[in-house]
Structure 1
Amino acid sequence: MTHSLESVYARIEQEVAARADRLWDVSLALHREPETAYEERRAAGLLAGELERAGFLVERGVAGLPTAFTARTGTAAELGGGPSVALLMEYDALPQLGHACGHNLIAAAGLGAALAVRAALDPIAGTLSAVGTPAEETGGGKLDEVAAGLFDGVDAALMFHPGVYDWTWAPLTASAQVRVGFHGRAAHPTGNPTEGIDALGALIQLFNTLGVLDRRLPAGSHIQGIVTEGGRATNIVPDYAEGLFGLRGETTSALAELVDELRSCAQGVALATGTTAEVTDVGGRYEHFRVNDVLSGLFARHLQAAGITLTEPEAGVYLGSSDIGNVSTRVPAIHPFVAIMGSKGSDHTPQFARAAAGPRGRRVMLAAARALAGTAADVLLRPDVPARAWAAFEKKAAAGL
């Protein structure tokens, strides 16, 4: 078995190397023509076409999302049974900044891994899937894909993310967008001021209240808000005001508690100011990322073969939120960070966008493709791996992590 696995790893390395130029061409094509959330038509078409030409069974428009797709292969792809691996590809860009989060590298690495595994293991005993996941930056395509059952029966959901750290897993918090609207009563501020109920004053009071709340929030939790509606004229007491709030919690349960706190604060302010408050979620909630130590360890060992060493994340450092969290709380998953620029930099910047099309980006993309493919092979060929991955998943779930 050891000799067989080593042969497979060697074949994967060869297959990724043979496709290196084409994978980089795909990555640069995505980078040159960035498409934002739910608009990734060229990206989805390019990736799905590459997989289809390689013999994958491709289904476009899955989960009710025109720019989502699945590509499957393996002896159990239609019949079910056997181990199942899903390689995830993100490809949406940021407005005005393009691929400043490096999703072009994520897509190309996932594509390369899928093609290499199919070539190295054909025929595959089990199921290998490549899943196109749109709208990670805004909206959360993976939420719809989870709800549609695309990850049902999957033993390992695998992806990597370019970044400024080399970390085995991503400390990603749960997040939600919540709208708070206050209804008051319009009046002239000098003609009949006592008749007015100032909705904007209520919203401002909510911001002040949340400022006090912020001082006692636990690590990983915060609330950031903006005013989206505050009145139309200075000589009219606003009868409606609205704010949009971004909330994050270290865990999904911590986020739920924070949303409840926001709702309580809004209702308290409404009671104090004579207004009425409406609190509504905007879109779905991103859950926290549940690390799977078994799969993350395998990926790290494969990446080490390319000379990249991953470490545990720094304690107390959080790197935002992602809809991969909603996948990771349902099936074993990985989301390592691999640096394409130094830790003094940051993603979501023009500098990071340039790095995503630079020589270090290419090296990381190819190394990640190889490591993802090796990890997928471990799941498909070693019965102990999915068993241990699920055991680790259940242990984290039982602990609420």
Structure 2
Amino acid sequence: MCADNAISHDQGVPASSRTALEDPGQISIAGAAVKAAARAVVDRATPELVALSHRLHAHPELGFEEERACGWLGDMLTAHGFTVTTGVCDLPTAFVAERGSGPLVIGICAEYDALPGIGHACGHNVIASAAVTAALALGEVADELGVTVRVLGTPAEENGGGKVLMLERGAFAGVHAAMMVHPAPSERLDPFCLARAQLSIRYEGRAAHASACPEDGLNAADALTVAQVALGLLRQHMTPDQRVHGIITTGGQVPNVIPELTEAAYYVRAATLPALHELEARVRECFEAGAVATRTRLTIGSDSPTYSHFRHDSQLLAAYERNALALGRSFPPVGPADDRQAGSTDMANVSLAVPSIQPLVSIGSGTAGLHQAEFAAYAARPEADRALLEGGLAMAWTAVDMALDVAARGRLLAL
């Protein structure tokens, strides 16, 4: 457990920030000066930040195995004045880093796990480096703003729900706003995220000689075949924002032995948690049908917590948009087809507990999309380097706006 990491801060604000907060006419002047100071930090650290991204990209690590990534981020944050605690929440590759001691706690989320076989095809090297960018920029002005910067190193986003575990175990306690950016083929403020359940399927039957005495066997592979047919028929009743997809991980060893064990991994997705629970119940019935038809034994488990739908905080998004535009980013029009290109994230669970955003930053990958080897190649190119620097600085500037705006600061502190 890591509930002890929750920090209680004095509600006092430094005199320099208090002056701006008390005089609206001074806010824009103070904000411009603080943002310039934050940008200067990023400019000085640019070679270091880009090198971090490329190092992560060249050494991909799977979820809960990100030992080097966790260490590299921790070392860099320590060198820039952060107090870093690793192995938090009983997760060896999770960490919490803090700088500043103000009452407004800004959470910056870093994720750094990769995908098997295709490395950083989701660009988590960009996410982690953008988080460090935001942290360094904001950490330098934290005391002036009356904020605490808390970087949360969150493992296993792809398959394991590191943020969900850290949320449940107290790492986000006391955080007033949480942010991260995610690389993508195109820029977007509020990407549509589906709630997701992960199912591990196991059918156990009885082996037999497939030619001499097949009648003595109970075919576990046939059980999964029946379930897949049932799932195919279920799709005609699914809404456009629902998904069911999976892979067979164990399906027999040789053709002349009736398979006694079949295993599969499946994802179920829907627009909201209630819709997900309803769909998941029907999907489970499809797997149960396979067991009934073949008289095999079915076990359904899960290797990951359920991911929720995402609740984007409109005020944080508006501030991020202004700052991203000021840095030269642009947001193309969003059409109905864009919501069809939906994934899932454990950051969504954080968004239901803490005001959160997760904008997409373009890395110029064109038609190469997430979870493709081609996208992984783009994640270490100059456009991705620019995205992590500008995305990180836009997050830092957004935090500056929240700290200096009387109403925005009060809203976050009151939540």
TM surpasses 0.5 = yes
- With the length of structure 1 as denominator, give the TM-score of the two structures: 0.88
Q: Is residue 38 of structure 2 the alignment partner of residue 17 of structure 1?
A: no
Question: Is 1:127 paired with 2:148?
Answer: yes
Alpha-carbon distance, 1:333 to partner: 0.9
Q: How far apart in 1 are the matches of 2:260 and 2:282?
A: 24
Alignment match, 2:222: 201
1:137 and 1:255 map into 2 onto residues whose CA distance is: 19
Q: Which residue pairs with 1:247 in the alignment?
A: 268
Following TM superposition, the consecutive aligned residue runs of length 4 or more in structure 1 with deviations greater than 6 angstroms are: none
Instruction: Kindly indicate whether the alpha-carbon contact (under 8 Å) linking 2:82 and 2:98 is maintained by their aligned counterparts in 1.
Output: yes
1:55 to 53, 68, 81: 81
Asked whether the 8 Å contact 1:295–1:389 carries over to 2, the reply is: no
Indicate yes or no: 2:371 matched with 1:348.
yes
Structure 1 stretch 235-244 or stretch 86-95: which is displaced more? 235-244
In the alignment, does 2:143 pair up with 1:112?
Answer: no
Correspondences of 1:112-191 after superposition (within 5 Å): 112-188=133-209
Query: Secondary structure, in 3 states, of the residue corresponding to 2:183?
Result: strand
1:35 aligns with 2:35: no
Confirm whether residue 292 of structure 1 aligns to residue 313 of structure 2.
yes
Query: CA shift at 1:178, angstroms?
Result: 0.9
Q: Does 1:372 align with 2:410?
A: no
Judged with a 3 Å threshold, the aligned counterparts in structure 2 of structure 1 residues 183 and 32 are, in CA distance, closer, same or farther, namely closer
For 1:101 and 1:189, the matched residues in 2 are separated by: 43
Q: Which runs of 5+ in 1 are unaligned?
A: 77-81, 395-401
Q: Does 294-303 or 136-145 show the bigger shift? A: 136-145
What is the SS of the residue equivalent to 2:77? helix
Aligned counterpart, 2:18: none
In the superposition, the TM-score normalised over structure 2's length comes to 0.85
Partner of 1:122, secondary structure, is helix
Matches of 1:155 and 1:312 in 2, distance apart? 30
Q: Which amino acid aligns with 1:262?
A: V
Cα offset, 1:342, TM superposition = 4.3
CA separation in 1, counterparts of 2:333 and 2:306?
Answer: 26
Amino acid at match of 2:87: G
The aligned amino acid for 2:71 is G
User: 2: distance between equivalents of 1:137 and 1:293?
Assistant: 26
Deviation at 1:320, TM superposition (A): 1.6
Do the aligned partners of 1:287 and 1:325 also contact (CA within 8 Å) in 2? yes
Deviations 1:138-191 (A, max 9, x none): 222212211211112211111101110110022121222212333444445565
Q: Does 1:45 align with 2:68?
A: no
Matched residues, number: 387
1:363 equivalenced with 2:386 (yes/no): yes
Cα pair distance change 1:66/1:218, threshold 3 Å: same
Which residue is 2:279 aligned to?
258
2:141 partner SS? helix
- In structure 2, distance between residues paired with 1:342 and 1:230: 36
CA contact (8 A) 1:219 1:250 kept: no
Displacement of 1:123 in angstroms is: 4.1
SS at match of 2:108: strand
Corresponding residue for 1:332? 355
Question: How far, CA to CA, are the matches of 1:289 and 1:313 in structure 2?
Answer: 17
Q: 1:143 to 1:4 in 2, by over 3 A?
A: same
Are the aligned partners of 2:101 and 2:143 in contact in 1 as well (CA < 8 Å)?
no
Contact 2:222 / 2:290 at 8 angstroms: preserved in 1? no
RMSD: 2.4
- Three-state SS of the structure 1 residue aligned to 2:309 is coil
The farther-off stretch of 22-31 and 227-236 is 227-236
SS of residue in 1 equivalent to 2:353 = coil
Q: CA 1:155/1:351 → structure 2, altered by over 3 Å: closer, same or farther?
A: same
Q: Deviations over 1:82-129 (max 9, x none)?
A: 221101112222333332222222222211211111213434523211
Percent identity, aligned pairs only, is 36
CA spacing shift, 1:235–1:72, aligned 2, 3 Å: same
Distance of aligned partners of 1:90 and 1:183 in 2 relative to their CA distance in 1, 3 Å threshold: closer
